A and B are shown apart, each in its own frame.
Chain A
Amino acid sequence: MDTLLDVENLWVKFPTRQGLFDAVRGVSFSLGRERLGIVGESGSGKSMTGRAILRLIRPPGIVEADHIKLGDDNLLAKSEKEMRAVRGQRISMVMQDPKFSLNPVMTIGDQIIEAYRLHSAASKSKAHAKSLEMLRAVSIRDAERVMRAYPHEMSGGMGQRIMIAMMLIPNPEILIADEPTSALDVSVQRQVLDIMDRLVKERGMGLIFISHDLNLVADFCDRVLIMYAGRVVEVCEADKLHEATHPYTQGLLNSLPRLDMPTDRLEVLERDPAWSEVPSVSGRA
């Protein structure tokens, strides 16, 4: 399998009054033309891993790695200007919260058209048609009205679908999706995942899918990295996630309410400090 992205020994550090805080600690993995899931709780470093790949961590945050290779290019060696050609065009990212990712004073249509025209020399009317098509592809009814609307007029779920439309319109090689569907409800979640799934298959895109929803990841991804306290504690095939051996993974699985198994009280995860001391597992395929 050809490797699109290869990350070796990635560390993300933030200086605090108590010294350096390590948000990501020695993570290595590779991504082919596949759907790679990264799961973990908030604070486990999964979003930071995604951001570090795009060099979106600003000083005083520190990113260190032996290499982050996109094809043959080492992203760490690139200048800020060269990185701008990578972001959006080659690696695109759907952020967690549409409320903070969309420009509140621009109509949705203008924002999508801008994203498209930034990376291609299309005419305005062609970009408009393409944007409408993309909005329909993420199953937004009434796309004409949405094009004229402002972000505050959208519900959270619609905002997230608009973000996905905007990120996929330049046709990137790798899509990093940071909790793209946690604001969506189950029925739409499936549709959005199907759209992403189709793109990964049709265009040979690589997908890094960051989520805290274990069942979703088990269903949707090919391979899963489970992160805890900045380290990868377990790597497994997605369809074998329910046979996971690490107590942290099992704890997360057990804390979910289930329709078919009603209980009075849900199980609460007990954390073992030893989990964060074990070295990171390599996530190479």
Chain B
Amino acid sequence: MSMLQIAGLNVWFGAARNRVHAVKAASFSVAEGESFGLVGESGSGKSTILRAITGLASTGSGQIEVEGQPVPARRPKPFFKTVQMVFQDPYASLHPRHSIDQVLGETLHLHGFKDIDNRVMQLLDDVGLGQKFRFRYPHQLSGGQRQRVAIARALAPEPKLLLLDEPTSALDVSVQAEILNLLADLRQNHALTYLMVSHDLSVVGHMCNRLAVMKDGEIVEIMDVSALRRMEATHPYSQHLLQASV
């Protein structure tokens, strides 16, 4: 069964001469348990697709189905139990005056969990942080540790689909390796489906099974990672991307 199905998705911003058509008729589907990558240059609309799925991009048209159910314009509460997002910048995505305990506790409370105390501890262990980080504030953590907290927060409602918006692009290569390993472990342990946006082909090649290449808001090619490794891109733009990243 497909976890996520997108058909003819259009997103635009602005009006008249400043109108930008950010996503043009994007269609793809992500199977349950799969890890699907979206690559393309900045401004190609890959993050906008993620925002459209979560309902953060207001003007758009097209079909979005999660677990076979069409998603209504105003996202219902159960939607956020199924779909969660990890943002690009761990420095901007955590409330600076909330401790890690508050960040995770609030999310758990909003999703109606009762045993918050145990779950916070469990989440911290899941992302490899440990209990000593529980009452710290974001400024007391490094970038990699913050991204772990952001991942823990996304995992709190026990989602099935994680949307990852460049989860490691703000991090060092050595920390990137740790976070990518963590994400791979979590996917295995929690049977998660990933939709991952990245501009780094080697990261997508490492993490994903299939990927879509985007250019100017359009998906120009969908291919298997094995084809990517064999350098068998058919569209000239994907070939150009491949050449630039080897």
Interface residue A155 (Cβ < 8 Å from any Cβ of B):
yes
Q: Do A267 and B18 touch (CB < 8 A)?
A: no
Residue of B nearest to A264 (CB): B184
B111 at the interface (CB under 8 A from A): no
B245 touches A267 (CB 8 A): no
Interface size on B, residues (CB 8 A): 35
B202 touching A212, Cβ below 8 Å: no
Q: Is A240 an interface residue (CB 8 A)?
A: no
Contact indicator per residue, chain A 260-280, by CB within 8 Å of chain B (1) or not (0) = 101111111100000000000
Chain B residue nearest to A263 in the complex (CB): B206
Within 8 Å by CB of A183, from B169, B180, B240, lies B169
- Are B173 and A213 within 8 A (Cβ)? yes
Asked if A158 is an interface residue, CB under 8 A from chain B, the answer is yes
Query: Beta-carbon contacts of B207-246 to A below 8 Å, as 1s and 0s?
Result: 0000000000000000000001100000000001100111
Query: Are B180 and A257 touching (Cβ within 8 A)?
Result: yes
Stretch in contact with the other chain, from A72-80, A166-174, A186-194 = A186-194
Q: B35-43, B59-67, B77-85, B99-107: which lies at the A interface?
A: B35-43
Assembled-state Cα–Cα distance A260/B142 (Å): 31
Give the docked Cα–Cα distance between A186 and B17 (Å): 30
A-chain residues with CB within 8 Å of residue B117 when the two chains form the complex: none
Say whether A268 contacts B181, CB under 8 Å.
yes
A156/B174 in contact, CB under 8 A: no
B125: CB under 8 A from chain A? no
Interface residue? B55 (CB, 8 A): no
Give the residues from 133 to 163 in chain A that come closer than 8 angstroms, CB to CB, to chain B.
145, 148-149, 153, 155-158
Contacts of A41 in B (CB 8 A): 172-175
Interface of A is mostly: loop
- Whether the Cβ atoms of A252 and B184 lie closer than 8 Å is no
Establish whether residues A42 and B172, one from each chain, have CB atoms under 8 Å apart when the complex forms.
yes
Contact A267 B184 (CB under 8 A): no
Q: Which residue of B lies closest to A266 (CB)?
A: B177
A158, A187, A259, A269: the one contacting B229 at CB < 8 Å is A259
A101 within 8 A of partner (CB): no
List A contacts of B181 (CB < 8 A): 265-266, 268
- Asked if B41 and A188 make an inter-chain contact with CB atoms under 8 angstroms apart, the answer reads yes
Write the chain B residue with the least CB distance to A184: B42
Task: Let me know if B42 and A158 touch, CB within 8 A.
Answer: yes
Kindly provide the distance from the CB of B168 to the nearest chain A CB, expressed in whole angstroms. 10
Q: Which of B118-135 contact A (CB under 8 A)?
A: none
Q: In the complex, what residue of chain B is closest to A189 when comparing beta carbons? A: B244
CB pair B180 A186 closer than 8 Å: no
What is the CB-to-nearest-CB distance from B223 to chain A, in angstroms, rounded to a whole number? Answer: 13
Closest to B244 in A: A186
Contacts of B245 in A (CB 8 A): 186, 259
- Given A41-B174, A265-B181, 18 new contacts (CB under 8 A): A41-B173, A145-B18, A148-B18, A183-B42, A185-B42, A185-B199, A186-B245, A190-B244, A212-B172, A251-B174, A255-B174, A256-B173, A256-B177, A257-B205, A259-B202, A263-B206, A267-B177, A268-B181
Q: List 23 A-B contacts (CB under 8 A).
A: A41-B174, A148-B18, A157-B41, A158-B42, A182-B169, A184-B41, A185-B41, A187-B41, A188-B42, A189-B244, A251-B174, A255-B174, A256-B173, A257-B177, A259-B205, A259-B229, A260-B229, A265-B184, A266-B180, A266-B181, A266-B206, A267-B177, A268-B174
| Interface residue ranges, A against B (CB under 8 Å) | 41-43, 145, 148-149, 153, 155-158, 182-190, 212-214, 251-252, 255-260, 262-269
Interface residues of B (CB under 8 A from A): 14, 17-18, 39-43, 142-143, 169, 172-178, 180-181, 184, 199-203, 205-206, 228-229, 240-241, 244-246
Which A-B residue pairs are the 8 nearest by beta carbons? A157-B42, A185-B199, A257-B206, A266-B177, A255-B177, A269-B174, A41-B172, A155-B43
